[in-house]
Structure formats: structure tokens, C-alpha cells
Structure 1
Amino acid sequence: MAHDASAPRRFVKIAILTVSDTRSLETDTSGSFLQQALEQEGHHLADRKLVIDDIYQMRAVVSTWIADPEVEVIITTGGTGFTGRDSTPEALSPLFDKHIEGFGELFRQLSYDEIGTSTVQSRCLAGLSNNTAIFCVPGSTGACKTGWNGIIKQQLDSTFQPCNFVQHVRKKSV
């Protein structure tokens, strides 16, 4: 886990989507954590929305962001479990040009230390669409912390070596 101290750090524009049938923006602790964490790192919040767990509402919002040149990264929280309405993987994986298979695998490995075998019920995923990185994490604030602190934070640090996702997203002046 090396950093290239000689390279200038590039910050990205990130949109956050919370998927929930019960939360509002005021009670969305997971989305709030992600917003605070990305801003603390120096990244920019491009947009933040909340939708119910509906495949077509999720696709509509995420598709708009994928097409928006001002959005480089999307983080979704919620809808990755096994309940009847959890449908984030079904909604968003068809939008991916490339799947980031290792994201879900690594998330579950990190999560195992926190919640044991219950981590197998997490269907978190990630992919690239139109040069936009998309990370889908579970809806609990704890899971958002695991995903951000354990994976996403480093992968959105342009100085993180040997590789990171900043090199794969649109380059925008900030």
C-alpha cells in the first residue's frame, strides 16, 4: 500500500444514492456518513438523492449520472440484501460496461471480521459505466464505513499505488 508522494492528488466528483423504503434525507445516516467521508478526503459531492427500492427509479437516477460528465463516481447504499425488495444488483449490474468482481469479494472478506458469516448475505457490487466508477454497498452505516474505509477511500486516492480507479474515470477540472 504505497502512495506516490511526488504526484499531485486529483479529487473526483461523487454522487451518492441511498436506496430505502423507510429513510428520508434527514434520517439517512449512511448517505450522510458517505458525504462527510468523501468531503473530508477532499472530493466533491456532485449530487445526492434518495429513492425507494425500485429497479426503474434506481436505473433512472444512476443512468442520468452515468451520462453526466460532471459525475465521475457513484456510490449507492442500500438494496443489496436478500429481502423481497432488495434489488440494487438487479437494477444496476445491467448498466455496467465492466464488473469490478474483486470489490464484492474484498468487501465480504473485510465484513466477515465485523459480522461473521452474515456477510454472505451482502450482494454488494461495483462496476464501470461510461468511465464512471459505481460502488454499491449495503445500507447500514457500519457497512458504509467498511466499504469506504476498507476499499473505496484508497481506490479514489489518485496517489495510491500500484493502481486506483481515479485513472479510469473522466478527468474533470476541479
Structure 2
Amino acid sequence: MSSSTDFHALGMAVLTVSDTRNESSDSSGQYLVSALTEAGHQLIDKQIVKDDIYQIRASVSAWIADPSIEAVLITGGTGFSGRDSTPEAVSVLFDKVIEGFGEVFRAVSLQEIGSSTIQSRAIAGLANNTVLFCMPGSTGACKTAWQSVIQEQLDSRHRPCNFVGVLKARNGGGL
């Protein structure tokens, strides 16, 4: 039996959405992989896909169908320029929207980049017992999202609440 002070590692995936990045230039995806593994979680998969609604949706759909993946971190494609389409690709997969993620991300980001934060369409939601966080593509934005919101919410020891209990309970493996 585990106690509320036990850490519960999650299986996670990282998706970088970009028309220009590759493994050697994907500093945002690399940051997220380092951050999640340093926090004690397990990286199950990492991919880079073009900013295309159907490529994004295909990768995310496969991950939310995989019971070993409990959280997906998506970087890129959340702005208003060009082909930015991550929110449109992912939001239709949500069973529940986590409105607070985008709100808190933009509130913290306001202190860092000022009013430009209104151009972020950072979103999050639950889909098939998996939590998904979509954040901007800059490494700075990924650090802000991870350090200010995601890390605590994926830590079973964080109080008063976190998503680990929700994920474990929904997957039949309560804490």
C-alpha cells in the first residue's frame, strides 16, 4: 500500500510540432525529456511531426490508446501564425478540458513576456485516461509550463491535489 508521500512515476510521451526542427535542433523537446526524466518519470516515446492537424492527431491518438502512456507533453503549433494547428488537432480528442492550465500558463507568462502571452493558445485536457499538455514551441515557454504548472501536477506528492490520483484512479490502479 502506498502513502500520499510516495512518488509515482508516470509513463510519458513528448511530441514536438514543427515544420523546421529535427532531433538535433529540437531544444524544446529535449528540455521536456530531460525535465520529465529528472523528475523521475519514464519517457515511453518522443516524436517530431510537421504542423499538420492529421499528423499531430495520429501521433497523439496512438499515445492515448497506449495504456503505458499516462501523460503527453506537446510543444509547438499553439500560436496564430502560419500553420499553427495543435489546439485544433488535439482539442477534439479531449474527454475533459483543463481550462486552468492555459489560464495559469498565461498568468505566469505575463510576468515573463508581457502582453505577448495573449498569443499563446496553450491548452490541456484529459483523453482516454491520459493527460495532455499543449504548450508553445519556445524552450523558454516549455520551461515556464513545466516549472510553474506541469511538474507539480504530475507529482503524486503535490498537495492539495494533482493529476496522478485522477490518472491512477481512472486506470483502475488507485494510489
Cα offsets for 1:123-154 (capped at 9, x unmatched): 00000001100000000000000000000000
Shift of 1:6: 5.5
Match in the other structure for 1:70: 68
Cα offsets for 1:76-117 (capped at 9, x unmatched): 000000012000000000000000000000000000011000
SS at match of 1:38: helix
Match in the other structure for 1:42: 40
**Residue number among 10, 15, 20 corresponding to 1:17 in the alignment:** 15
Counterpart residue type for residue 55 of structure 1: I
Q: Which runs of 5+ in 1 are unaligned?
A: none
**Residue number among 125, 137, 140 corresponding to 1:139 in the alignment:** 137
Counterpart residue type for residue 77 of structure 1: T
**Percentage identity across paired residues of the two chains:** 59
Distance 1:149 1:82 in 2: 24
Q: Which runs of 5+ in 2 are unaligned?
A: none
SS at match of 2:24: coil
Counterpart residue type for residue 56 of structure 2: M
Shift of 1:62: 0.2
2:156/2:164 contact within 8 Å kept? yes
Match in the other structure for 1:90: 88
Counterpart residue type for residue 89 of structure 2: A
Distance 1:163 1:90 in 2: 28
SS at match of 1:169: helix
Higher relative contact order (CA 8 A, sep 6+): 1
Counterpart residue type for residue 120 of structure 1: I
Distance 1:22 1:148 in 2: 23
Distance 1:64 1:56 in 2: 12
Shift of 1:7: 2.3
**Residue number among 97, 100, 118 corresponding to 1:99 in the alignment:** 97
- Note if 1:155 corresponds to 2:147: no
Counterpart residue type for residue 147 of structure 1: A
Q: TM-score, normalised by structure 2?
A: 0.93
Counterpart residue type for residue 44 of structure 2: A
Shift of 1:168: 1.8
Counterpart residue type for residue 30 of structure 1: S
- Note if 1:117 corresponds to 2:123: no
Query: Which segments of structure 1 move beyond 2 Å, counting only runs of 4 or more?
Result: none
Distance 1:35 1:90 in 2: 24
2:16/2:74 contact within 8 Å kept? yes
Count of matched residue pairs: 168
RMSD over aligned Cα atoms? 1.2
